[in-house]
Amino acid sequence: MDSDPAGRDGDQALADAMERAHDPARVLALSDGVFAIIITLLVLDVRVPELGQGQALADALREIRPSLTAFVISFILAGMYWVSHRDLFGQIRRTDRGLVWLNILYLLPLCLLPFAASLLGRHDRDPVALRIYGLTLVAIAVMRVAIWLYATNRTQLLWVRLDERQRRVGLALTLVPGIVYLVAIAVADVAPTVSLAIFAGLPVLYFLSITVLRRGSTGRREFVNFT
């Protein structure tokens, strides 16, 4: 530090360098790029069928129904995850090495979502498909919990400090679906239909709970950030 041409200007330069190094802009650019690709990826699986001899187009199209279902499922799910990601990073002012890597490791199971949804679309009562699908969702939930705990525990990374209650509400919003997914995985072998119903029903539950939370928070500050 002594050999530095520093003084007050040097300190300012250092502060600026710190701000640049912690700017979340590129973290968001990478994440949005990955989300955009995931959202459109499965359409590649929805292929125009080749017509066999004497086969009508309408019949041939029946074959693409599973891949179309898988596309819609992962589209909605990826949309939900993107909205949550946007909510979360809307609270984050600076990133650090830990947060950058947690975000990359969050994108990893997310990228597997189209594969898992495609598997479920074609084998919707097979316990193996149900378990792989569930594990993907659990992995995403685990990473979201990790990011939430990491970021909210470091005041310097946030725009506004959250109090204990806000942290717990945010944690519950991610943890509860994760635990429900674990239940769905556990019953996949004995009751695949129950398992499937849980996977199909949880997004609905998510919308309802967010809506209820927002209704109940009129005049309360802690929920204004959950858009």
Residues 71-90 that bind a copy of itself (CB under 8 A): 71-72, 75, 79, 82-83, 86-87, 90
β-bridge mates for residue 92, sequence order: 158
Task: Provide the minimum distance between the beta carbon of 179 and a copy of itself in the complex, in angstroms, as a whole number.
Answer: 25
Q: Does 144 bind a copy of itself (CB under 8 A)?
A: no
Residues 6+ apart with CB under 8 A from 26: none
Stretch 163-222 residues interacting with a copy of itself (CB under 8 A): 163, 214, 219-221
Could you say which of 65, 155, 160, 208 contacts a copy of itself (CB under 8 A)?
160
Q: Does 35 bind a copy of itself (CB under 8 A)?
A: yes
Task: Provide the minimum distance between the beta carbon of 43 and a copy of itself in the complex, in angstroms, as a whole number.
Answer: 5
Task: Provide the minimum distance between the beta carbon of 20 and a copy of itself in the complex, in angstroms, as a whole number.
Answer: 5
Total residues at interface with a copy of itself (CB under 8 A): 76
Task: Provide the minimum distance between the beta carbon of 198 and a copy of itself in the complex, in angstroms, as a whole number.
Answer: 20
Task: Provide the minimum distance between the beta carbon of 10 and a copy of itself in the complex, in angstroms, as a whole number.
Answer: 9
Task: Provide the minimum distance between the beta carbon of 139 and a copy of itself in the complex, in angstroms, as a whole number.
Answer: 12
Q: Does 34 bind a copy of itself (CB under 8 A)?
A: yes
Stretch 47-76 residues interacting with a copy of itself (CB under 8 A): 47-48, 56-58, 61, 71-72, 75
Return the number of the residue (95 or 174) whose C-beta is nearest a copy of itself: 95
Residues 6+ apart with CB under 8 A from 110: 34, 35, 38, 78, 81, 140
β-bridge mates for residue 158, sequence order: 92
